[in-house]
Amino acid sequence: MEDLRKKISELDYEILNSLAKRRELSREVIERKDKTGLPLRDKNREKELLQKLIEEGKILGLEPTYITKIFQTIIEDSVRLQQTYLHKLGDGDTLEKNEVRVAIQGIIGSFSSLAARRFFSNRGSELIFVSKMSFDEVVKAVEEQEADFAMLPVENTNSGNINDVYDALVKSSVSIIGEEKLRVKQNLIGISEIDPISITKIYAHPQAAAQCSKFLETIPNAVIEHVSDTALSVQKIKEEGNPKYAAIASEQAAESFGVVVLKEDISNRTENYTRFLIAARKPVAVDERIPAKTSLVIATAQKPGALVEALMFFNKYGINMTKIQSRPIPGNPWEEMFYIDFEGNVADEKTALMLDELGRNSRYFKVFGSYPANEIDKTVLPPTDVSSLPETGFIPEEETVALPVISVKREGSAHRFAGREYKSDDTIIEVKGVQIGGGSFTIIGGPGSVESKEQILNCAKELKKQNGHILFGGCFEPKTSPYAQTGLGYEGLSYLQEAGMVYELPVATEIFSVNQVEQVAQYADILHIGAVNMQNFPLLIEVGKTHRPVLLKRGLMASIDELLNAAEYILAQGNRQVILCERGVRTSDGTTRNTLDLSAIPILKELTHLPVIVDPTHAVTEAEKIIPLAKATKVVGANGVFVEFHPEPLNTHSDSKRQMSFKQFGKMMKELNRLH
């Protein structure tokens, strides 16, 4: 028997050496393919080789199914190796780095760390794990260059989607550059051998507990205590040292902490897989020879059939959508955004055209990135080749019908998303039933500063009485003088929100810094970027990540092109709800506060599909002069007017001379209504 075992072992080592030599040849093959541009795979050759191997195997007494499984595994390894060679991970590619920092939620031994080891296994670099407590922190670690990559679990075949990851992605600036699918084998782990029925407490990640719910029902006396990470649950039982405490985690976590597996594979289903996305600071190009996926998020218009209309673009271009997942839009009750995965590469013309159309018909649209698909198509023989072979177990390839590629001329434009070349129809932005854009003329008005609850309620009442549409109030108003009143801050913002709710008006307020965006977006329906911040690019990027419409004012001395470029910063982040506002530019003429450039309106209407409104308040030194300018605004074709008014302009601390009284505001509204 020992002699036979020795011979088998020798053959096993020969097989290993042959596999290593074959792998080395695969590396040489992909180097040549990379230089010559040859396709990654030659499926006809693979089928011919499989046919010959099966025929040769029959002579040697080997089953076709056996040969097929081995051949498919070898080919899959070869394809993954070659894809890794072609898929460079950005500047300072992992292939050229000795160490790669990977941010994970949890600690070493978690399934995220196991998935990372698998994804980076062919890249020859040592992994340094950066452990974080939440997915927001994982993403932030990459954004702030603490880590090179983030490992993010997005869905599990048993417990479904991991919503915290989707929420972290949509707020971030990272790009998806890869995916990995890991078989998750959950185990019951203790510090020593014990009958599971005696266990009184089980530490488990909420997802792990959900995946093992049926097994947990068999231990009725055990209390389930949730922890943030599977490996951390093992660390806790090790530290506490109570033999009646257990954890749910991987075998590797048990080995790391020197504890024992009480029961293996306790998941509800044995086929338990988690899909991970790998994110980096910048997107990377995927070689078009590699089958790719693309992930994105959209929010459609709030009208019947809007989602169906958006999804029809996938059908129009013959693109296969592999997943759609809905999530509530924070701060927008009963409104949904949709996460979509599909087969395609943004570098492919057909995919790019589809994305163009989808983006033009979305109010929020963000592509997370294209990346190599984790699945490798298995080499199979067609039915005609299988019929002569006994019990091969082959799965025939599905017959596909080639869909025509729709070719559309893509015009170049300096303003990729803001220009008319991108979208010929006017964008209409809807906020709580108020339309901005198209044929509507929208009135936005309110005090320059929210000074009290009573004041803003009175302004809201007057705006509603005069059939105005959107209530504005400055809450963080900066002044030229550092000693002037700067607003009530978040207290004033709560008053503004309350006034809007009482009189059923959307509300808008100005923001000045990146750290305000998330909190202000919880109160305000429209985020106002003032003239002094038109080129505050970090702020523009941050508001571009929100789902709130953005009112963007032209800078003090900005050109029309610079205004559109500023809008482009917001649009490029995914937020397609930008309202442009002309408010006057500073010139050498000292008779006006600013020179209102009404000639910019028809030019902007020609150059961009975005709504354009006018703020005449900053172009005058006396409130009475606002009225003729507001009328001219409507005549020249703007989509609305933005004015400041106050219950007692002379008693306010904020620009009293150019804020209209209620009487003046009422007069303006009457004169505007006479214009058609």
Which are the catalytic amino acids? 274, 276
> How far is residue 412 from each of residues 289, 317, 382, measured CA to CA in Å?
26, 21, 45
> How far is residue 123 from each of residues 69, 432, 475, 588, measured CA to CA in Å?
26, 51, 52, 62
Residue 510, beta-bridge partner list? 528
Residue 295 DSSP code: E
Find where tokens 């977006």 sit: 521
> How far is residue 591 from each of residues 243, 564, 643, measured CA to CA in Å?
85, 28, 20
DSSP letters, 206-251, are: HHHHHHTHHHHTT-TTPEEEE-S-HHHHHHHHHHH--TTEEEEE-H
Ramachandran angles phi, psi of 435, nearest 5°:
-100, 135
Q: Is 365 helix (H, G, I), strand (E, B) or coil?
A: strand
Q: Is 655 helix (H, G, I), strand (E, B) or coil?
A: coil
Find where tokens 């509507």 sit: 440
Nearest CA-CA partner of 290 in 583, 75, 79: 79
> How far is residue 34 from each of residues 39, 92, 149, 242, 302, measured CA to CA in Å?
9, 19, 25, 57, 47
What does the block give as tokens for 639? 């989509």
211-226 core/surface letters (b: 16 or more CB in 10 A; e: else): bbeebbeebeebebee
Distance CA 658, CA 448 (A): 10
Distance CA 402, CA 404 (A): 7
Nearest CA-CA partner of 432 in 496, 338, 508: 508
- Show Cβ contacts of residue 314 under 8 Å, excluding neighbours closer than 6 positions: 320, 321, 342, 354
Residue 155, beta-bridge partner list? 161, 275
Q: Is the dihedral of CA 348, 353, 357, 360 positive or negative?
A: positive
Distance CA 101, CA 127 (A): 6
- SS3 per-residue string spanning 546-564: CCCCEEEECCCCCCHHHHH
Residue at 97: amino acid letter: K
Distance CA 617, CA 645 (A): 9
Distance CA 656, CA 653 (A): 7
For residue 259, the tally of other CB atoms under 10 A from its CB is 20
DSSP letters, 375-411, are: --PPP---HHHHTTSTT----PPPP--PPPPPP----
346 touches 284 (CB < 8 A)? no
> How far is residue 191 from each of residues 98, 233, 297, measured CA to CA in Å?
36, 12, 44
172 touches 266 (CB < 8 A)? no
- SS3 per-residue string spanning 86-145: HCCCCCCCHHHCCEEEEEEECCCCCHHHHHHHHHCHHHCCEEEEEEECCHHHHHHHHHCC
Q: Name the maximum alpha-carbon separation found in the chain.
A: 107
Nearest CA-CA partner of 576 in 351, 366, 307, 306: 366
